[in-house]
Amino acid sequence: MALNATITAIGTYIPEKVLTNQDLEKMVDTNNEWIRTRTGIQERRIASNGQATSHMSVDAIKEMLDEYDVDPETIDTIIVSTVTPDMFFPSTACLIQEGIGATNAWGFDLSAACSGFVFGLETATQFIQSGRSKRILLVGADTMSSITNYEDRNTCILFGDGAGVVLVEPTENSEYGILDSLVYCDGSGADYLNMPAGGSLNPATHETVEQGMHYLYQDGRTVFKFAVNGMANVSVEILERNNLTGDDVDFFIPHQANKRIIDAAAKKMNLAPEKVVINIDKYANTTAATIPLGLHEIVKSGQLNQGDLIVFATFGAGFTWGATLLRWGQ
Ligand code: UT7
């Protein structure tokens, strides 16, 4: 029997430290009004010194394992979507495996920036469908503060830190779980959103550090144009190819890069505003963590019910973009 993959558990972690727009006004030439109206962000969370992506992830996973009573030794696969791994190697998946005692799991990191969670879900789904994995831990986590230049007003207002994790397992009920997924990339967008140094192209030197090449770079205006179209189009495409309309969708959980990009996608899908999950105001852009953070909020608040239809959509560096169609339940 064909197996569907479904999400059976979720956990999240956000750091305690809050960095508000007013705090940023004291650091760079910006103002609360500009940030709020141009992005929808009011505050973001920042990891403490020494707190890395694996640490936030382990906290999120432990919360999930406790709440859903899952034994870490039953996990067979760990996928970590992140662009801010603790180190280039070993993978953050290995560090997490050790941190939670998942002694029977293999794992790896996946680099797709803001699309990491959607790409990770597509990957996890295929492992489940092939029968090779039965219990996958999919982490979307980023410590964006570690690659953000807090002297650059173009980027430092946009990002925050956080981690989310879901358990992906098979279900024999073909009406539930991941029903469809679309994933795309277009490397001609690489110049507009990247971290120029620290890899094999520009290894670390005094010069790369002095020139700020280890920080995230973004041509915001260009990325905005591609993101508005990319996220809206992929959201509509996944509905249309499943003969659905916005009326059929119970929740739209988009990547949280800019409230204006989210609004444009929701409009193109003809969605009622209460179906759109938004937390960019509290957490800003946490890259691979935005979608699990949004999902966990509607799980915790009791809004999400068995059988609800959810669309995830994203757009990010690469460029990468995609969408997932999910019926909640198993
Ligand atoms: O998650 C991965 C994908 N990333 C995205 O999807 C992000 C896409 N881009 C965006 O969200 C937006 O482009 C930004 C929020 C980054 C910028 O908004 P914008 O409306 O595109 O502004 P802009 O870059 O066109 O700048 C408009 C003006 C400029 O001044 P002038 O040249 O018009 O005088 C900027 O210098 O706003 C100025 N500006 C700021 N002013 C106050 C830029 N940053 C700031 C700031 N505070 N922090």
Nearest Cα residue to atom 41 of ligand 1: 30
Q: What is this structure's pTM?
A: 0.97
Which whole-number Å values give the CA distances from 163 to 24, 47, 52, 243, in the listed order?
23, 11, 10, 33
Same domain, 40 and 143: yes
Q: Which of 120, 141, 174 is the last residue of a domain?
A: 174
150 close to ligand 1 (CB < 6 Angstrom): no
Residues of the chain with pLDDT under 70: 1-2
Quick one: pLDDT at residue 103?
Answer: 98
The Cβ of residue 292 has, within 10 Å, a number of other Cβ atoms equal to 31
Q: Looking at the structure, tell me whether residues 170 and 235 fall in a common domain.
A: no
The verdict on 282 and 205 lying in the same domain is yes
Taking the CA of residue 223 as reference, the ligand 1 atom at the shortest distance is 8
Closest C-alpha to 307, from 208, 182, 188, 175: 175
**Same domain assignment for residues 111 and 191:** no
CB 76 within 8 A of CB 106: yes
- Indicate the pairing of strand 161-171 with strand 136-143: antiparallel
> Is the same domain home to 24 and 170?
yes
Residues 159, 217: one domain? no
Shared-domain flag, residues 253 and 189? yes
Alpha carbon nearest to ligand 1 atom 47, residue: 30
Looking at residue 171, what is its pLDDT? 95
Q: Quick count: other Cβ atoms within 10 Å of Cβ 213?
A: 17
Single residue among 125, 150, 174 that ends a domain in this structure: 174
39 lines ligand 1 (CB under 6 A): yes
Tell whether ligand 1 has an atom less than 6 A from the beta carbon of residue 154: yes
Q: Whose C-alpha lies nearest to ligand 1, atom 12?
A: 220
**Cβ(82)–Cβ(288) below 8 Å:** yes
Domain with residue 185: its CATH number is: 3.40.47.10
Q: Give the number of other CB atoms < 10 A from CB of residue 252.
A: 24
115 and 170 in a common domain: yes
Amino acid at 315: F
Do 161 and 19 have their domain in common? yes
In eight-state DSSP terms, residue 247 is G
Structural domains of the chain, count: 2
Domain boundary among 159, 174, 189: 174
Q: Given the CA of residue 227, which atom of ligand 1 is nearest to it? A: 6
Which DSSP state fits 328?
Answer: S
Enclosing domain of residue 259: 178-327
How many Å lie between the centroid of ligand 1 and the Cα of residue 44? 17
Classify residue 89 by its DSSP letter.
S
Given this model, what pLDDT does residue 25 score? 98
The 10 Å Cβ neighbour count of residue 120 is 26
The pLDDT tens digits for 291-330 are 999 999 999 999 999 999 999 999 999 999 999 999 999 8
Residue 320 sits in the same domain as residue 204: yes
175-214, pLDDT tens digit by residue?
999 999 999 999 999 999 999 999 999 999 999 999 999 9
Give alpha helix (H) positions in the chain: 21-25, 32-39, 53-68, 92-100, 116-130, 153-156, 206-210, 220-240, 259-268, 280-283, 290-300
How is residue 8 written in tokens? 């059976």
Using DSSP bridges, classify how beta strands 177-185 and 161-171 pair: parallel, antiparallel or unpaired.
Answer: unpaired
Considering the domain architecture, whether residues 190 and 131 belong to the same structural domain is answered as: no
Q: Of the candidates 178, 168, 152, 198, which has an alpha carbon nearest to the alpha carbon of residue 311?
A: 178
Do residues 286 and 200 share a domain? yes
